[in-house]
Amino acid sequence: MNTWKIEQVGKKPKLDNPILIEGLPGIGNVGKVAIDFLIDELKAEKLFEISSYSFPHSVFVNEHNLVELPVVEVFYKKFKGKRQDLLLLSGDVQPTDEVSSYEFSEKILDLIASFKGKEVITLGGIGLGEVPKKPIVYCTGSSSKIVKKYKSKLVNDKLYGVVGPIVGVSGLLVGLAKKKKMEGIAFLAETYGHPMYLGIKGAREILKVLDNSLGLKINMKRLDKEIKEIEQDMMKKTDQLSEVSKQTALKKLKSKLGSEVDYIG
Amino acid sequence: MNTWKIEQVGKKPKLDNPILIEGLPGIGNVGKVAIDFLIDELKAEKLFEISSYSFPHSVFVNEHNLVELPVVEVFYKKFKGKRQDLLLLSGDVQPTDEVSSYEFSEKILDLIASFKGKEVITLGGIGLGEVPKKPIVYCTGSSSKIVKKYKSKLVNDKLYGVVGPIVGVSGLLVGLAKKKKMEGIAFLAETYGHPMYLGIKGAREILKVLDNSLGLKINMKRLDKEIKEIEQDMMKKTDQLSEVSKQTALKKLKSKLGSEVDYIG
Amino acid sequence: MNTWKIEQVGKKPKLDNPILIEGLPGIGNVGKVAIDFLIDELKAEKLFEISSYSFPHSVFVNEHNLVELPVVEVFYKKFKGKRQDLLLLSGDVQPTDEVSSYEFSEKILDLIASFKGKEVITLGGIGLGEVPKKPIVYCTGSSSKIVKKYKSKLVNDKLYGVVGPIVGVSGLLVGLAKKKKMEGIAFLAETYGHPMYLGIKGAREILKVLDNSLGLKINMKRLDKEIKEIEQDMMKKTDQLSEVSKQTALKKLKSKLGSEVDYIG
Amino acid sequence: MNTWKIEQVGKKPKLDNPILIEGLPGIGNVGKVAIDFLIDELKAEKLFEISSYSFPHSVFVNEHNLVELPVVEVFYKKFKGKRQDLLLLSGDVQPTDEVSSYEFSEKILDLIASFKGKEVITLGGIGLGEVPKKPIVYCTGSSSKIVKKYKSKLVNDKLYGVVGPIVGVSGLLVGLAKKKKMEGIAFLAETYGHPMYLGIKGAREILKVLDNSLGLKINMKRLDKEIKEIEQDMMKKTDQLSEVSKQTALKKLKSKLGSEVDYIG
């Protein structure tokens, strides 16, 4: 299905061999939280808007009470000096089915290749049964070469047996990178596997890893201040939400069963 | 998706303005039971075999312990004298999704039109909460003209409010007939809405309706004898099956939940 | 999938810069109830019939006991004097999946554009845990300009945080309008989120909003009389239905589990 | 959807009328366990790697902590003397939907035909309610000719009534073989139908059947030693897994219900 639209926003910059970092929604939204902070912190500029008929057929209401289509965006950050330039992939959604997930991932790798980039970093979460005190960051990659490159005290590379399959774009980008003679690495931080839980702490640990590996000079104090604010907000909301959702969920279940009554073949 | 294969078996007969009667699997398999008896009783000859990539991706083991792909078949019966010739549509399966259900129904109507036929009769069941003593046969059609044509003491034409939507090919053939300037009528017999229950009694009532309307001279005694035999067989099987299925169902449910453990995004 | 059929019914009128109002099935059928009353009240004329292979593969039995395919219809109303002409979108169904929901919404916007129209209004419901005494009507739009245009005492424009994503055509029409340099606004009325509940009261509040904004001169007395009649009817039906559906639902659940027994890989 | 990629690995050997044996994941992974042992035991060489956009959109972490895309592989074994050469089909996954399951199966049959092969053997499991002491191996085929060819004391050919439909590639390869004027036979071993249970004992019985029919000279002692080791490993794991999965499953269920809260139409 030829339903992908990639719109360029502004001028295409000259980037030299950039690394793309991906953080789409997933468990605990760990990847999304990390990439959105990074885009903000680095003052990265928007380069592409990607929309698709295979994204969810729904819209969001934003803080200005206006409607927004689900969108995935690519930002870039050009550094002076030795640091490698970055492309940053953030979005409201993931592609919803197998075929579009593969198609999307290939398009992103082609986009990196169009800037002569050869490396992709993906960010995600590992859902635990309880809130981790200090989330461990695991990594896995397309080759032992890239795993060695990013290995440090901050990262555990013994992921085998810890998780099942890595589902979605975070997994496919690394898997398909190898096929395209690129390199890929995934950083996955532990988080609480509850759908209401936002994996900020996991995102923080991932940001420390990226900061250390790529020399990003992230202002960790600012990050920690933001984390405190978000956590206080969330504690209030969660109380309300969990009550509402329990009731609505039961209603939903009942109505699903009820709505299948009376069919004829 | 261009996945329909219609293979002609034997020579194409000359049929004059035939009526097609459809009986695919559905509630209580009422339509399938009726059409299969009719094909047998009328010694109808096979004309087409229809297979499709959008049929279920599974095979059956037949009574000779050999594998059979799911197939839909069209038979024909040429009558001498005044009676209209018949096309009879029987099958192992229904198309599984919206698009293929529409595509299939259009292909069948085109097939009728290729013989200059202008009428389609579809057979199905209405699932009740208990076994009906004497199943009522309801009808609904593409126009009041065809409903009048088939109205009799044996048929109740007040279907409105009795059922919800008519799902699948039995409904679409009648609905699409109108668009193609053909006529369609659906006969739906009451049956017990339990998945293990075979709607033979409902099928019997439908066969009486068809016999009466189309002058088919069906041997009802043979039918009743067959019904008795099947019912005795089924009573034995049902006892065993219901016990097995209850246990397996629980296991299935548990395993479905269990197999979704440990995903990462 | 090229499965959309838009048939014109009668002559195409000259409309000057019309607004399209959409009311397809959804939560409480609020939008559908409102648009159907409006079409009736304004004596709007049918202009297009839209059918699709991606609509549900089922037919309805209407009050004349005849079969009807699911259809979406576009009506129009030409006004004398200053009032803007209207296109009114009503239907039995919504497209069932992501891709067809996007495709459908784009086709509707193209249709508006073909009349040089630049504005779309969508109607829907917000499901609450209980029956609202006086349903609030919220709005959200493609730009602050259109939200300002329709803001009044009757409408609350603080939707952010009140609802999650707006799913389906009601959301996409507004979201995609922006991309096509058109304007869109959604009016969403509170209703009871029970599948058996018809959101007539919410529809009433939306009609008041439309009446006020567009100067439609709706006969609210007639509407209130109709509402009373429908409510009395429903109270009788609901009692029966809820009992039936509870029993059938349990049976359905059991049979679903049972039918998955015995698969081999 | 044109999403199949078949990559040749190494030189294409000259095979004379080879038989292809399939063992993809399924109930108890009986087929996969058998084929993977066989590939190892025969020191078969890899010939093709098959990937597809319709495979699950996820990756695995292997024992070297590296990412691997789901892949299906074809190996071959050339024998000296009278024994027929073999193609061996193994993989991480099955195609996920109807259309791709048919497409895949046709591609495999075409691949056999490209080597002038005319026979396919598929391996699978029959899920029982308890662990079988000595699993029975059943067979069914595309014709009585091939069933006779493989009948022995080790195989029961009375499968009719024992199982429902054979779902997936194991069934389709045999069913479609007939259409392509090839022969196919399926060997299905009893196993415990629990999702955590690995059907090694069933796989052992199937290997004995293949050894006997094809004269493979399998080292059954080595197999039995391996089985013992795996079983001891599994007993430890199962205890842990079942506890984890029970808890996570409940959480998953709750979150699924919870995540459907607050939709608007």
Contact list in B for residue D171 (CB cut-off 8 A) is 57-59, 67
Cβ contact (<8 Å) for C264 and D126?
Answer: yes
Same-domain check for residues D89 and D72: yes
Q: Complex ipTM, two decimals?
A: 0.82
Average pLDDT in the A110-138 region? 95
Q: Report yes or no: D141 and D185 within 8 Å, Cβ to Cβ.
A: yes
pLDDT of residue A248: 43
User: Which of C55, C77, C79 lies closest to C68 in space, CA to CA?
Assistant: C55
Report the residue from C166, C171, C265 with minimal CB separation from D167.
C265
User: Which of D204, D188, D207, D192 lies closest to D132 in space, CA to CA?
Assistant: D192
| Residue scoring higher pLDDT (A3 or B58) | B58
| pLDDT-derived band at A235, boundaries 50, 70, 90 | low
Alpha-carbon gap, residue D134 to D154, rounded angstroms: 12
Q: Who's near B233: CB < 8 A, 6+ residues apart?
A: none
Cβ contact (<8 Å) for C165 and D94?
Answer: no
Same-domain check for residues B136 and B251: no
Mutate to test the interface with C, among B27, B93, B99 (most CBs of C within 10 A): B99
Alpha-carbon gap, residue A172 to D99, rounded angstroms: 22
Least confident of A159-168, B157-166, B214-223, B245-254: B245-254
Closest residue of chain D to A159, computed from CA coordinates: D65
Same-domain check for residues A208 and A233: no
| pLDDT-derived band at B233, boundaries 50, 70, 90 | low
Alpha-carbon gap, residue D118 to D211, rounded angstroms: 20
B57: in domain: yes
Please give the structure tokens belonging to residue C235. 């109270």
Cβ contact (<8 Å) for C167 and D263?
Answer: yes
Per DSSP bridges, beta strands A166-167 and D58-61 are antiparallel
Same-domain check for residues B125 and B228: no
Same-domain check for residues A8 and A110: yes
Same-domain check for residues C240 and C109: no
Alpha-carbon gap, residue D72 to D197, rounded angstroms: 22
C106: in domain: yes
B193: in domain: yes
Alpha-carbon gap, residue B88 to B47, rounded angstroms: 10
Number of compact structural domains in chain C:
2
Same-domain check for residues A44 and A146: yes
Alpha-carbon gap, residue C204 to C206, rounded angstroms: 5
Q: Sign of torsion, CA D126 D129 D132 D136?
A: negative
Q: What is the average pLDDT value for chain D, to the nearest integer?
A: 86
Prediction pTM value? 0.81
Report the residue from C24, C164, C263 with minimal CB separation from D263.
C164
pLDDT of residue B135: 96
Domain interval for residue B40 = 4-218
| Residue scoring higher pLDDT (B1 or A224) | A224
Average pLDDT in the D22-39 region? 94
Token pair 């790529």 in the structure block, residue: A214
| pLDDT-derived band at B162, boundaries 50, 70, 90 | confident
Cβ contact (<8 Å) for B59 and D103?
Answer: no
Same-domain check for residues D251 and D197: no
Same-domain check for residues D235 and D120: no
Q: Report yes or no: D74 and D88 within 8 Å, Cβ to Cβ.
A: yes
Contact list in C for residue D99 (CB cut-off 8 A) is none
C265: in domain: no
Same-domain check for residues C170 and C256: no
Same-domain check for residues B206 and B255: no
Contact list in D for residue B61 (CB cut-off 8 A) is 140, 159-160, 162-163, 166
**CATH number of the domain bearing residue B203:** 3.40.50.10900
Contact list in A for residue B173 (CB cut-off 8 A) is none
Whether D235 shows a pLDDT value over 80: the answer reads no
Alpha-carbon gap, residue C19 to C116, rounded angstroms: 10
Whether D22 shows a pLDDT value over 50: the answer reads yes
How many Å lie between the alpha carbon of A217 and the closest alpha carbon of chain C? 34
Which chains share 3+ C-beta pairs under 8 angstroms with C?
A, B, D
A264: in domain: no
DSSP letters spanning chain B: ---EEEEE-SPPP--SSPEEEEE-S-GGGHHHHHHHHHHHHTT-EEEEEEEETTS-SEEEE-TTSBEE---EEEEEE--STTSPPEEEEEES----SHHHHHHHHHHHHHHHHHTT--EEEEEEEEEESS--SSPPEEEEESSHHHHHHH--TTEE---BTTBS-EESHHHHHHHHHHHTT-EEEEEEEEEE--TT---HHHHHHHHHHHHHHHT----HHHHHHHHHHHHHHHHHHHHHHHHHHHHHHHHHHHHHHHTTTT-B-
Closest residue of chain C to B61, computed from CA coordinates: C264
Same-domain check for residues B84 and B58: yes
**C interface with B, Cβ–Cβ below 8 Å:** 1, 3, 53-69, 96, 244, 247-248, 251, 254-255, 257-263
DSSP letters spanning D43-74: T-EEEEEEEETTS-SEEEE-TTSBEE---EEE
